[in-house]
């Protein structure tokens, strides 16, 4: 509880104590003994007003402020009218007094409000706590000694030192030292990650064992940690349909019930169907019950909880609308490389043309790929394992879905697939080995090809069967790779459908075609490398492996911090659970309200029942909403 809430609680407790004392004095006839009749009535009026004002003086003020801002019908308005109305029943001296109810309604309303504020604060905090990844400082090395500075002050290329127990403040590359990194706060994964010289480290992880010297590759503002925090903070702005519906609903609902209450209070007595105090009281009770707070608060709270729960698993959802869309997914479309497969290719064979040195073919490929981040490029450079002298590369261009074209030592080098060769009128040799084929052409003549192979990720098969088990009807793979490779992967993983040899543009077309036949929503899962257009075209774009790729975080609606496809089924489960809770709350809250409203209208429910109904429903709905936050890894 924060300070404000503690003060609030004290006020409520004090008011409750006074309230029950007054009630005891009243009921035991002490007031009547001292003040006589009708003095006791006025005494109790004044006495009940004390706890009312202590606990609830700001509610009428808030109602008044909102009216002046043009937002007349909110819950503080309903509560103000109902409670003041109850006190005003004193103008009907012939009827039972209702001051006690007036004060009680305000008191319990405040108890509910406090609980709400506590619950919201708690869930918000738990996302923040879970996302407690923001570093406070960076140790920068200057003139041989260490200084602690604000992470904002560190420049790209500075050397920072991260001691065991400290958080990595900025993305960079290890230049010295080896250690284990705890990435749990980012990915939900508890197995530490080993890093040593040359490895990339990502901000937000905790250094566990050794001292690391890291050369920064980004500014703090562009580092993973800053981008993730920004994303989480903005998540509540993107509202789900259900949330917007509730807001709109409350906007029309409150004036309607206010007028209904007015009608109940006025029409029947005018028609001579009963006494004024009787019907006015029914109208006031009606007002208390109709307060929509349970709905207004519990629905956003459930989404909040769902987003928080997902982020505990390393699944970042950019808004409740995406959680809602995800819960209705029945088709999942995957990119292959880096998504279902690890994206780290091994060189299986190098088939050079007669008179060409295979090592030369590999080195030219590595040079041509020097500036590419494509998984193929990264793997080829790894396999080449030599230094690349960038001055020898005059020009290099990536042709998306084809390969690369570069000028090296003044010679035109092409590295890529059949399509690239065909586009440049180079004839090539086919290869019988199953694998991804990288043709290499130099100055328009064919030099040979490199066969590379990728492995499917450990959990890819599990991921597909989990999705099927979760009721996803179709799992489809799209790839720019050869048909044979695609076929082998599709068979191994149990995919329902696959399409090979697609250019990035073709993937968009395929997704549009699939969208036409899908009954539910379509999710596309990619690694963000040249599939950004598809990520945005799908109903839900899921990017994986945010621990590295900027493109992924930008283009996607949901980001999986880990690059594990099995997290998709988990994300869908969290989304469905959240939506179940949202719907439960809506049905429960509206159901109970309608019931008590009906009872109030016919005069069976009194104000006591009304206020307990209102606060009770709100508390139950909030507790239910908080369930969305608790998630299991499996």
Residue 563 near ligand ADP by CB under 6 A = no
Applying CB under 6 A, among 97, 309, 403, 448 the residue interacting with ligand ADP is 403
Q: Which part of the chain contacts ligand ADP (CB under 6 A), choosing from 21-29, 135-143, 479-487, 581-589?
A: 479-487
Compare residues 183 and 337 and give the one whose CB is closer to Mg ion: 337
460 binds ligand ADP (CB under 6 A): no
Q: Within a 13 Å sphere around the CA of 184, how many CA atoms are in the beta-carbon half?
A: 10
- Binding at 376: pick from Mg ion, ligand ADP, none (beta carbon under 5-8 Å per type): ligand ADP
Element (H, E) at 96: none
400, 502 in Cβ contact below 8 A?
A: no
Are 66 and 113 a contacting pair, CB within 8 Å? Answer: no
**Which CB sits closer to Mg ion, 431 or 502?**
502
Query: Within positions 330 to 369, which residues make up the interface with ligand ADP, using CB under 6 A?
Result: 335-337, 369
Q: What distance in Å separates the CA atoms of residue 466 and residue 471, rounded to the nearest whole number?
A: 9
480 binds ligand ADP (CB under 6 A): yes
374 forms part of the interface with ligand ADP (CB under 6 A)? yes
Residues 18-47 that bind ligand ADP (CB under 6 A): none
Q: Are 342 and 544 in contact (CB under 8 A)?
A: no
Contacts of 316 (CB under 8 A, 6+ apart): 228, 231, 232, 310, 546, 558, 559, 560, 561
Rounded to whole angstroms, how far apart are CA atoms 286 and 347?
76
User: Which residues, in sequence order, are bridge partners of residue 497?
Assistant: 476
Q: How far apart are CA 270 and CA 248, in angstroms?
A: 33
Nearest residue to ligand ADP by CB is: 480
* Residue 417 makes contact with ligand ADP by CB under 6 A: yes
Q: Virtual CA dihedral for 623, 628, 629, 632, nearest 10 degrees? A: 130
Question: Using CB under 6 A as the criterion, what x/- string covers residues 418-457 for binding ligand ADP?
Answer: ------------------x-x-------------------
Q: Which residues, 6 or more positions from 430, have their beta carbon under 8 angstroms from its beta carbon? A: none
Interface residue with ligand ADP, options 372, 549, 566, 624 (CB under 6 A) = 372
* Closest CA relative to residue 177, chosen from 208, 202, 148, 146: 208
Binding-site member from 179, 242, 337, 624 for Mg ion (CB under 5 A): 337
Indicate if 357 belongs to the active site: no
438 binds, among ligand ADP, Mg ion, none (CB under 5 to 8 A by kind): ligand ADP
Q: Which structure tokens are listed for 107?
A: 């008191």
Least separation in angstroms between CB 322 and Mg ion = 22
Catalytic residue among 182, 335, 481, 562: 335
Interaction of residue 398 with ligand ADP, rule CB under 6 A: yes
Using the rule CB under 6 A, is 479 a contact of ligand ADP?
Answer: yes
Part of the chain binding ligand ADP (CB under 6 A), chosen from 9-17, 355-363, 410-418, 512-520: 410-418
For the record, the structure tokens of 236 come out as 């509540």
CA distances from 102 to 56, 208, 253, 414 (A): 11, 59, 23, 83
For the bound state, the minimum distance from the C-beta of residue 317 to ligand ADP, rounded and expressed in Å, comes to 24
The Cα–Cα gap between 489 and 359 comes to 29
CA 117 to chain centre: 21
**Do the strands 540-544 and 558-560 form a parallel or antiparallel pair, or are they unpaired?**
parallel
* One of 466, 481, 557, 614 touching ligand ADP (CB under 6 A): 481
* Distance of closest approach, residue 501 Cβ to ligand ADP, in angstroms: 8
Among 171, 189, 335, 369, binds Mg ion (CB under 5 A): 335
What phi and psi values does residue 522 have, to the nearest 5 degrees?
-115, 130
Total of chain residues touching Mg ion, rule CB under 5 A:
2
- Considering only 311, 530, 549, 578, the residue that binds ligand ADP (CB under 6 A) is 530
d(CA 538, CA 513): 11
166 interacts with ligand ADP by CB under 6 A: no
Residues that bind ligand ADP (CB under 6 A): 335-337, 369, 372, 374, 376-377, 398, 401-404, 415-417, 436, 438, 479-481, 504, 530
Residues that bind Mg ion (CB under 5 A): 335, 337
Task: List the catalytic residues.
Answer: 335
């Amino acid at each position: 509880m924060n300070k404000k809430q503690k003060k609030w609680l004290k006020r409520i407790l004090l008011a409750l104590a006074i309230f029950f004392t007054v009630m005891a004095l009243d009921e035991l006839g002490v007031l009547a003994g001292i003040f006589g009749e009708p003095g006791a009535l006025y005494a109790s009026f004044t006495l009940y007003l004390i706890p009312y004002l202590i606990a609830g003086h700001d509610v009428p003020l808030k109602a008044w402020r909102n009216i002046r801002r043009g937002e007349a019908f909110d819950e503080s308005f309903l509560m103000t009218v109902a409670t003041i109305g109850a006190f005003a029943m004193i103008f009907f001296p012939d009827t039972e007094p209702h001051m006690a109810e007036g004060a009680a309604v305000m008191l319990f309303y405040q108890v509910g409000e406090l609980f709400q504020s506590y619950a919201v604060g708690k869930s918000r905090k738990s996302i923040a706590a879970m996302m407690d990844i923001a570093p406070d400082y960076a140790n920068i090395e200057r003139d041989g000694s260490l200084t602690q500075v604000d992470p904002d002050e560190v420049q790209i290329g500075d050397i920072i030192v991260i001691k065991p127990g400290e958080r990595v403040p900025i993305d960079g590359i290890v230049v010295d030292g080896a250690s284990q990194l705890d990435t749990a706060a980012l990915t939900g994964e508890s197995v530490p990650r080993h890093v040593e010289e040359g490895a990339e480290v990502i901000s937000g992880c905790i250094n566990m064992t050794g001292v690391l010297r890291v050369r920064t590759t980004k500014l703090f503002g562009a580092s993973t940690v800053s981008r993730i925090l920004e994303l989480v903070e903005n998540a509540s702005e993107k509202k789900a349909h259900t949330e917007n519906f509730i807001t709109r609903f409350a906007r029309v609902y409150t004036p309607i019930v206010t007028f209904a209450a007015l009608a109940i209070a006025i029409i029947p007595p005018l028609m001579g169907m009963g006494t004024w105090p009787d019907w006015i009281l029914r109208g006031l009770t009606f007002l208390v019950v109709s307060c929509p707070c349970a709905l207004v608060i519990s629905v956003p709270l459930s989404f909040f909880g769902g987003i928080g729960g997902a982020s505990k698993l390393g699944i970042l959802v950019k808004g409740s609308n995406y959680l809602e869309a995800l819960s209705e997914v029945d088709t999942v479309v995957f990119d292959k490389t880096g998504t279902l497969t690890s994206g780290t290719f091994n060189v299986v064979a190098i088939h050079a043309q007669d008179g060409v040195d295979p090592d030369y073919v590999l080195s030219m490929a590595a040079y041509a790929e020097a500036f590419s981040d494509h998984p193929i490029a990264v793997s080829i450079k790894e396999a080449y394992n030599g230094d690349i002298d960038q001055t020898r590369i005059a020009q290099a261009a990536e042709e998306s879905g084809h390969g690369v074209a570069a000028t090296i030592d003044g010679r035109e080098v092409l590295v890529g697939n059949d399509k690239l060769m065909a586009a440049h009128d180079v004839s090539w040799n086919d290869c019988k080995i199953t694998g991804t084929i990288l043709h290499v052409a130099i100055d328009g003549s064919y030099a040979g090809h490199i066969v590379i192979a990728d492995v499917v990720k450990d959990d890819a098969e599990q991921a597909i069967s989990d999705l099927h088990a979760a009721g996803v009807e179709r799992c489809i793979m799209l790839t720019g790779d050869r048909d044979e490779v695609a076929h082998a992967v599709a068979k191994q993983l149990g995919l329902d459908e696959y399409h090979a040899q697609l250019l990035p543009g073709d993937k968009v077309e395929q997704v549009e075609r699939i969208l036409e036949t899908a009954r539910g929503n379509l999710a596309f899962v990619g690694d963000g490398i040249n599939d950004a257009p598809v990520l945005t075209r799908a109903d839900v774009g899921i990017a994986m492996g945010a621990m590295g790729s900027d493109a992924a975080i930008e283009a996607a609606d949901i980001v999986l911090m880990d690059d594990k496809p099995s997290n998709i089924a988990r994300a869908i489960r969290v989304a469905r659970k959240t939506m179940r809770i949202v719907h439960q709350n809506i049905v429960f809250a509206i159901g109970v309200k309608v019931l008590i409203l009906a009872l109030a209208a016919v005069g069976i429910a009194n104000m006591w029942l009304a206020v307990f109904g209102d606060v009770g429903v709100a508390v139950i709905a909030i507790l239910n909403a908080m369930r969305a936050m608790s998630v299991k890894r499996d």
